[in-house]
Amino acid sequence: MRAEVISVGTELLMGQIVDTDAAFIAKRLSQVGIDLYFRQTVGDNEGRMLESIALAASRSDIVILTGGLGPTQDDMTKQVLARHLGLPLLTDEASKSGLEAWFSGRGQSMTPNNLRQAEFPEGAIILKNDWGTAPGCVVRAGGKHFIVLPGPPRELEPMMDERVMPYLAALSGETIATKMLKVFGIGESALEDRIEDLISAQQRVTLATYAGFGEVTLRLAVKLRAGEDPEPHFASVEPEIRRRLGESLYAVGDDNMPQTVAKILISSRKSLSLAESCTGGMIAAELVAVPGVSEAFLEGAVTYSNEAKMKTLGVSPQTLQQFGAVSPECALEMAEGMKLRTGSDYALSVTGIAGPGGGSAEKPVGLVYIAVAGPNGAKAERFLFGARRDRGFIRRMAMLNALDLLRRELI
């Protein structure tokens, strides 16, 4: 079956917001083996919306419309769909009561324009919205399935998972199983080189690489009949891939580098402290995003100034004077000082020049030293992330490489 997503909203065409809904829906469709060949984005304009819906209905079996379900006159997705299908709009009493309850639960009275959110094309299956005010719906007409969902990601994502996925799974009858191998420290083309023969020889299990920020994802995918187990298929290629990737394979699944490192720390009962300069708390913030990390993460210091490096971490004034704050010596003293201060098993430190200012011929923008202190001593590594890159790029690369360095120490 073929699906098509139409993202509705002038704000998407103005560039005010980035459309994350479409990517989310795309991922879910691939899980139930429904092909997504096209996506469209259209503004809040009746004529152009009608044109988009007609085009989608002419070439796709399932048309998913997101956005334009709110209370204002600009919100007209259901109205335009009803018009395309030649159906009247009817008020759904359950949705109306739901809206009234939502407002009164917040001590607000409902303005009449909110009633638009309780109107649906005749015959629609209502999709209750527990995460906001506008319910979605499914309308079946002419052998096609039109699915209408609210635009805000915090509503759309649970609506998709809890309301739409069961419907789509029933339609499809086929599933695609995927396995994501996350790779750090090998570029996309080098990775393809390393497994080129496997890509050429691929049969049931298809292989594809996706370059991410500082990392590459290798996607294994296999189409399955209902009830079929994907693991024997994956087992036909995965061991050989793992052998070739070695330690650069850092996770299987959706975990990113911070999640991976946090989980290794927690499961191995090792504690960590952080001394950050140019990353400025970013490593701590990424680790703290992982629930349960409080078991492993003791304390972080954002020592941006030399004074803080001396006072909080015990970096010696001589080191700062002789080698500068961006030096392997300073990185080592930062990590060792933080480890001593907190008594953690490991301490990680980062010091570098994130730019745009502060660079020199000898120490250019993008130069970063990362040190890790652990039970078996400390070591520092030098990284050069490229002076042409912006501050955000250099800081993020420093964060990821610091965590990867710690990961390689831990495993």
Stretches 85-93, 118-126, 294-302, 371-379: which one binds its own copies (CB under 8 A)? 294-302
Other Cβ atoms closer than 10 A to 239 = 10
Q: CB of residue 55 vs its own copies: minimum separation in angstroms? A: 7
The three-class DSSP label of residue 109 is: coil
Q: Torsion angle, CA of 119/20/73/107, rounded to 10 degrees?
A: 70
**Signed CA dihedral, 188, 189, 194, 195: sign only:** positive
The three-class DSSP label of residue 385 is: coil
Q: CB of residue 27 vs its own copies: minimum separation in angstroms? A: 3
* Close Cβ partners of 201 (under 8 Å, ≥ 6 residues apart): none
- Applying CB under 8 A, among 138, 261, 301, 373 the residue interacting with its own copies is 301
Site for its own copies in 351-390 (CB under 8 A): 354-357, 388-389
Q: Determine, following the binding rule CB under 8 A, whether residue 23 of this chain makes contact with its own copies.
A: yes
Q: Determine, following the binding rule CB under 8 A, whether residue 276 of this chain makes contact with its own copies.
A: yes
Q: Determine, following the binding rule CB under 8 A, whether residue 294 of this chain makes contact with its own copies.
A: yes
Site for its own copies in 134-153 (CB under 8 A): 152
Q: Determine, following the binding rule CB under 8 A, whether residue 25 of this chain makes contact with its own copies.
A: yes
For its own copies, which is the closer residue by CB, 261 or 301? Answer: 301
Site for its own copies in 97-126 (CB under 8 A): none
Task: Round to whole Å and give the CA distance between 396 and 391.
Answer: 9
Instruction: Pick the closest to residue 219 from 179, 257, 168 (CA basis).
Output: 179
What is the radius of gyration, based on Cα positions, of the chain? 26
Instruction: Pick the closest to residue 284 from 254, 261, 311 (CA basis).
Output: 261
x-or-dash pattern for its own copies, window 303-342, by CB under 8 A?
xxx-xx---x-----------------------------x
Tokens of 304: 């941006």
DSSP state of 125: E
Q: CB of residue 161 vs its own copies: minimum separation in angstroms? A: 13
Stretches 9-17, 137-145, 232-240, 260-268: which one binds its own copies (CB under 8 A)? 9-17
Q: Determine, following the binding rule CB under 8 A, whether residue 131 of this chain makes contact with its own copies.
A: yes
For its own copies, which is the closer residue by CB, 6 or 378? Answer: 6
Burial 338-349 (b: 16+ CB within 10 A, else e): bbebbebbbbbb
Site for its own copies in 27-66 (CB under 8 A): 27-30, 36-43, 45, 48, 52, 55
For its own copies, which is the closer residue by CB, 350 or 373? Answer: 350
Site for its own copies in 212-241 (CB under 8 A): 212, 217, 219
Instruction: Pick the closest to residue 90 from 113, 119, 123 (CA basis).
Output: 119
Q: Determine, following the binding rule CB under 8 A, whether residue 401 of this chain makes contact with its own copies.
A: no
Task: Round to whole Å and give the CA distance between 348 and 332.
Answer: 9
The strand pair at 215-224 and 206-211 is best described as: antiparallel
Stretches 247-255, 274-282, 326-334, 372-380: which one binds its own copies (CB under 8 A)? 274-282
Q: Can you spell out the DSSP letters for 214-247? A: SEEEEEEEEEE-TT--SHHHHHTTHHHHHHHHGG
For its own copies, which is the closer residue by CB, 141 or 169? Answer: 169
Q: CB of residue 408 vs its own copies: minimum separation in angstroms? A: 23
Q: Determine, following the binding rule CB under 8 A, whether residue 285 of this chain makes contact with its own copies.
A: yes
Site for its own copies in 186-215 (CB under 8 A): 189, 192, 210-212
Return the biggest CA–CA distance within the chain.
81
Q: Determine, following the binding rule CB under 8 A, whether residue 279 of this chain makes contact with its own copies.
A: yes
